[in-house]
Structure 1
Amino acid sequence: MTDLFWPGDHLAGDLMSDGAFLAAMVAVEQAWLGALVDAGIAPADARADLSVADGDVETIARRADVDGNPVSALIAVLRDRADAETARWLHRGLTSQDVLDTAVILCVRDVLIRVGVECAAQVRALSELIETHRDAPALARTLTQAALPSTLGAKISRWLAGVLDAAEPLAGLRTSLPVQVGGAVGTLAATTELAGSIDAALALGDALADRLMLAPALPWHTTRSPITRIGDALVTCCDSWGHLAADVTTGSRPEVGELAEGSGGGSSTMPHKNNPVRAVLIRRAALTAGPLGATLHAASAASVDERSDGAWHAEWATLRTLARRTVVAAAHTSDLVCGLRFDEGRAAANLAAANLAAADGLLSEQQTMTELTGRPGLSDYTGAADRVVDATLSRARHFLEESS
């Protein structure tokens, strides 16, 4: 896929595309039909290999406008091509929300896998940058102004901690993504009728989860926390990358000059420019991710009755946009940190200049502390920065071991 309105969208490939979504819906129908046959509810000759063609996307998308979602149109296409016995049992016991919600979960799983791979690459790259520059003197700034001496290692470790905060929950989220099987109103009424008992109906839901390699779950239907939880995880990733990117855009200003992208972007009219394009595009994603996540929460809060009148429908494109943009931001961040360059000399010069410019120097806080304690000041006023760096690197190593 490409998107001229969102440069870099092609980096997300087929993830959350129309084709991927259609294939996921077919996979749900295929798995359910197989579960019915294996349970002895549907006859063996109802088993069939369900498939759709690339050209079906347009047909199904246009027909989706009739019923408000693409599942009915998909079922019509599949039944038209199936033999009589398969058509008779196809989709029996399911409702459109079962198919659509479970298909969305399948698509999201692929997104989370990709984001997890990118996060691991970022953790490795940032760890290497810390090892290279950990003791290099640098100026720490608060509220845009010179504050205290620090190190480049301390600065990078804060980026790394943010990435780890976002990346660590992803693995658990991937393995707990739930199947959705509830029937028309979330009571499994039709499935219970088909299966002959409540236990058998619940077992069919578990069988579907097993076939799709999802977590078994009771119907969640109008309880949308599985969707908001996914959205929150994606937004948290974009938050961490946005922080990193903001520091890069500031640090790469010519008047600061401490950072540079490995390969910056050019200007259509100013050949002398070397724009921090990766950082700019990452910030773009970070600025828009939060509102998309908020829309998912608003839809969840507006969930009503046993199927929402618009709130459920608002989730699909919102989650798709958030997911694809997160993948693109993940790829851009990996590219950024793998090529990021630090100018240690410039960082030290900026620290020295700020110290001279300050009325009492940058160590006025230290002087206050020594007056209070009566002890002479330490030669290196960076406190526990080195210990923080070590702890963050240890956490990174553990993460990489767990994710390998």
Structure 2
Amino acid sequence: MADLFWPGDEHAGDLFSEPAFLSAMVRVEAAWLATLVEHRLVPADAADDLDGLVGPDDVAEVAAGAESGGNPVIGLLKLLRARVEPRNTAAARWMHRGLTSQDVLDTALVLLAGDASERVLAETRGQVEALATLVREHRATPVAARTLTQQAVPITFGLKAATWLESVVAAGRGLAAVDASAAVQVGGAAGSLAASSELAALQDDPDPAGRSLALVETFADRLGLVPVAPWHTSRGRVTAIGDALVTCTDAWGRIATDVATLARPEVGELHEATGGGSSTMPHKQNPVLSVLLRRAAIAAPPLAATLHTASALSVDERPDGSWHAEWATLRTLARRTVTASVQARTLLSGLRVDAEAMAANLAEAGDALLAEQRSIAGLLDRDPSPTYAGATDLLVERALATATTYLQETS
């Protein structure tokens, strides 16, 4: 896929695409049907993997029919039943029993979010490797620190890159934690598991409610997700995904802002590996990746805010519109984060550091950058120390250790 409105979208490939969404919903239906069969709540001959029944060519039909019921599950289920009927009447009869549309759609979204997160985490690992290299190579490269846009005190570029590194690792760990807790949605019509419990009760199960909870555990295990209580109107799991994605774009946006600033010709301390051209000014080498990363960082938080608004407006036992607002929002946020993750890795892997320009800018600033050191020395009536590096070495070592641990955790 590619998107004229969002350059680089092709990096996200099929992730969170409409065909992927359709496939995920079918996977959910198949896993639930298999679970019912395994627990002997439906006839054994109802077993069917639902494979080959629907595909990308059916997206338009399912999408067109979604308006009448407010979601695509109803039309998909009708299509699945019609197509499985000739080969398996029992499967057509028993599929979806005990679920509601929201169970299928929510679980499918969780699966899609997991796929997107896996890609982002793979790219994040590459970013950490590139950043660790920058930190090691430039731990002693002097550069002017800047605060509130003004030159402040001398630091090293390795220290600056170490702060980038720490933020990327923190974002990666946050996303991994959310991904590890990704959960199924199974509640039935109103979150009470009444239908599945009734299926068990009418077949003389001694513990119908316990059987329903066992169904959820088996179902979750089949999908590689966590079994939890229904969360139809408790949407913290969705906002957590959004927040984790935005934390990633925050980290990359900060790096991109630094790079774009230090790549200005009048500063010249950093350069992207390949600058972008101009349609009318051939001399320009625009920091395009930094620009696109800043775009993602600016656009992501409002999308997460929409998820939070939807969560706050969830009502009763099933939401009326707030749930519906989540689907496209989460898709857009996830795809854009995947795209940004690729662009961030590319930026960092090719970032060029101009140590001579850094030294020249320091020299031009002169002794002004040591004013704080002199003022502290004056308080004690002592001469300033030979250097003003503070705990730079320890902070750099700590960042490198963090990177090493993270890379071991994610290997």
Q: TM-score, normalised by structure 1?
A: 0.98
Q: Secondary structure at the match of 2:48?
A: coil
Distance 1:233 1:317 in 2: 17
- Cα displacement (A) at 1:2: 1.3
Q: Secondary structure at the match of 2:231?
A: coil
- Cα displacement (A) at 1:373: 2.5
- Cα displacement (A) at 1:289: 0.6
- Cα displacement (A) at 1:274: 0.7
Instruction: Tell me whether 163-172 or 114-123 shows the greater mean CA deviation.
Output: 163-172
Identity of aligned residues (%): 56
Whether the 8 Å contact between 2:141 and 2:158 is mirrored in structure 1 is yes
Which residue does the alignment assign to 1:237? Answer: 248
- Residue 274 of structure 1 pairs with residue 279 of structure 2: no
Distance 1:259 1:328 in 2: 23
- Cα displacement (A) at 1:268: 1.2
Alignment of 1:213-252 (within 5 A): 213-252=224-263
Which residue does the alignment assign to 2:345? Answer: 334
From 201, 221, 235, the equivalent of 1:210 is 221
Amino acid at match of 1:380: T
Distance 1:182 1:375 in 2: 72
- Residue 192 of structure 1 pairs with residue 213 of structure 2: no
Distance 1:309 1:49 in 2: 32
Whether the 8 Å contact between 2:35 and 2:219 is mirrored in structure 1 is yes
Distance 1:309 1:206 in 2: 28
**Structure 2: where are the runs of 5+ without partners?**
202-207
- Residue 371 of structure 1 pairs with residue 378 of structure 2: yes
Distance 2:112 2:210 in 1: 29
Alignment of 1:98-137 (within 5 A): 98-137=103-142
- Cα displacement (A) at 1:216: 0.9
Q: Secondary structure at the match of 2:153?
A: strand
Which residue does the alignment assign to 2:181? Answer: 176
Distance 2:332 2:176 in 1: 21
- Cα displacement (A) at 1:284: 0.2
Q: Secondary structure at the match of 2:56?
A: coil
Which residue does the alignment assign to 1:32? Answer: 32
Deviation readout 1:154-183 (Å, 9 max, x if unpaired): 111111111011011222222210111000
Which residue does the alignment assign to 1:323? Answer: 334
- Cα displacement (A) at 1:194: 1.0
Distance 1:66 1:227 in 2: 25
Q: Secondary structure at the match of 2:369?
A: coil
Which residue does the alignment assign to 1:4? Answer: 4
Alignment of 1:11-160 (within 5 A): 11-50=11-50, 51-83=53-85, 84-160=89-165
- Cα displacement (A) at 1:53: 2.1
Distance 1:308 1:219 in 2: 13
Amino acid at match of 2:96: H
Distance 1:73 1:373 in 2: 79
Q: Secondary structure at the match of 1:149?
A: strand
Distance 1:49 1:27 in 2: 8
Q: Secondary structure at the match of 2:143?
A: strand
Distance 1:400 1:291 in 2: 31
Distance 1:110 1:376 in 2: 59
Distance 2:341 2:234 in 1: 29
RMSD: 0.9
Equivalenced residue count is: 400
Distance 2:2 2:200 in 1: 45
Distance 2:209 2:185 in 1: 16
Q: Secondary structure at the match of 1:362?
A: helix
Distance 1:170 1:362 in 2: 39
- Cα displacement (A) at 1:352: 1.1
- Cα displacement (A) at 1:269: 1.4
Whether the 8 Å contact between 2:175 and 2:241 is mirrored in structure 1 is no
Which residue does the alignment assign to 2:394? Answer: 387
**Structure 1: where are the runs of 5+ without partners?**
none
Q: Secondary structure at the match of 1:148?
A: strand
- Cα displacement (A) at 1:285: 0.1
Alignment of 1:257-268 (within 5 A): 257-268=268-279
Distance 1:53 1:15 in 2: 15
Distance 1:31 1:373 in 2: 73
Deviation readout 1:35-82 (Å, 9 max, x if unpaired): 111111111111113131221100000000111100000000001111
- Cα displacement (A) at 1:109: 0.4
Distance 1:317 1:250 in 2: 33
Distance 2:180 2:211 in 1: 25
Structure 1 segments (4+ residues) deviating >4 Å: none
